[in-house]
């Protein structure tokens, strides 16, 4: 289980796998996210639903990395009437057995990008690339304990949060095995591999974090990691995550990530060093195989435009002589045309 500040504790119950009663905050968000990568076919994807019931819509993302470097992608903001289910925009997440078995399905359209970097201009990318039918069916099985939960006061009462500065009041993650298929147009991909899922709920603005680096990866059923560095606008950094080894989590005490960049400040490769609470150390090398840049924009109360960039790279990882796959997700606020965490 993750660490908590003094005077607080983590709470996580099986019913947290289902949707919660929304807070009063306008920007209440309840989201579930799954990824998976097939180490043999070198394909994979990630899938997210974020319900914003107090704003009347959900955020839906479907992203598939195809073996030849193409990316099939769709994003939508379907209307929702409440927070009863994770089911919007053609995507559905089902809890078959809390903490153990879940199912992801999608039926809709995707744009197929020969050059995924074109998504830096979403309107242009959708205009100039084919849009085809898509189906995803994946069954997930938990291969690890749960990591995280809701941070509450020692007496169990909720924390006081500022919705304007909040990213989530509760968050948990789990390494998974997954199998199923993707259909993209007339192509069908049978897939079997590993991934990670997370869930969060509470007030969220994507602009609440200055920059972060999030590296979920799997080297097989019994070895995986999630490395996280989160930095605020004062430069204060929170390092963490966990190493999955033989069915148990060893929490990360400290970590560093050094990245290589292209001319757009998209990550192309990385080197990470991890020290865990047990004293174990790991060195990880990552090579980005395919990357799609995404963005989130909103107006601040003073009318200024806030722009967040999230680069999602399918990444091949090497550690301790074994090869694995996962994601390198880099979030940055864009200021004067440049990501604030550039170089980190």
What is the C-alpha separation between 29 and 25, in angstroms, rounded? 9
pLDDT of the residue at 79? 98
Bridge partners of residue 133, in order along the sequence = 109
pLDDT of the residue at 124? 97
Do residues 331 and 298 touch, judged by C-beta distance below 8 A? no
What is the C-alpha separation between 148 and 3, in angstroms, rounded? 8
Do residues 43 and 65 touch, judged by C-beta distance below 8 A? yes
pLDDT of the residue at 164? 47
Dig out the tokens for 244 from the structure: 């999955």
pLDDT of the residue at 217? 98
pLDDT of the residue at 157? 61
Bridge partners of residue 107, in order along the sequence = 135
List the domains of the chain with CATH numbers: 20-204 (2.40.370), 206-344 (2.40.370.10)
pLDDT of the residue at 166? 43
Do residues 309 and 341 touch, judged by C-beta distance below 8 A? no
What is the C-alpha separation between 218 and 193, in angstroms, rounded? 9
Evaluate the CA torsion angle 190, 195, 201, 207 in order and state its sign: negative
Bridge partners of residue 104, in order along the sequence = 93, 138
pLDDT of the residue at 275? 98
pLDDT tens readout for residues 15-52:
999 999 998 888 899 999 999 999 999 999 999 999 99
Dig out the tokens for 92 from the structure: 């559905």
pLDDT of the residue at 160? 63
DSSP state of 26: T
Residues of the chain under the 50 pLDDT cut: 1, 163-164, 166-167
What is the C-alpha separation between 27 and 342, in angstroms, rounded? 28
């Amino acid at each position: 289980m993750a660490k908590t500040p003094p005077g607080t504790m983590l709470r996580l119950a099986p019913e947290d796998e289902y949707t919660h009663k929304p807070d009063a905050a306008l920007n209440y968000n309840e989201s579930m996210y799954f990824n998976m990568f097939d180490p043999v076919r070198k394909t994979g994807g990630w899938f997210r639903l974020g319900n914003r019931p107090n704003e009347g819509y959900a955020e839906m993302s479907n992203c598939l990395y195809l073996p030849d470097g193409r990316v099939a992608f769709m994003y939508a903001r379907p209307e929702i009437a409440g927070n009863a289910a994770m089911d919007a925009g053609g995507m559905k997440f089902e809890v078959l057995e809390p903490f153990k078995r879940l199912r992801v399905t999608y039926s809709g359209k995707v744009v197929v990008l020969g050059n995924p970097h074109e998504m830096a201009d979403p309107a242009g990318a959708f205009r100039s690339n084919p849009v085809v039918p898509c189906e995803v069916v994946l069954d997930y099985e938990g291969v690890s304990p749960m990591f995280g939960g809701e941070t509450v006061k020692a007496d169990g009462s909720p924390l006081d949060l500022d919705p304007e500065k909040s990213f989530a009041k509760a968050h948990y993650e789990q390494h998974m095995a997954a199998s199923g298929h993707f259909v993209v147009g007339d192509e069908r991909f049978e897939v079997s591999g590993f991934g990670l899922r997370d869930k969060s709920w509470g007030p969220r603005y994507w602009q609440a974090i200055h920059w972060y680096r999030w590296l979920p990866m799997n080297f097989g059923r019994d070895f995986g990691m999630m490395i996280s560095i989160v930095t605020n606008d004062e430069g204060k950094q929170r390092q963490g995550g966990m190493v999955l080894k033989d069915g148990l989590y060893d929490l990360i005490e400290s970590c560093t990530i050094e990245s290589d960049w292209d001319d757009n400040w998209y990550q192309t490769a990385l080197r990470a060093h991890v020290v865990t609470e047990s004293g174990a150390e790991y060195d990880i090398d990552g090579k980005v195989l395919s990357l799609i840049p995404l963005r989130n924009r909103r107006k601040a109360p003073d009318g200024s435009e806030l722009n967040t960039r999230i680069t999602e790279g399918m990444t091949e990882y090497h550690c301790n002589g074994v090869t694995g796959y996962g994601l390198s997700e880099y979030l940055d606020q864009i200021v004067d045309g440049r990501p604030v965490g550039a170089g980190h």
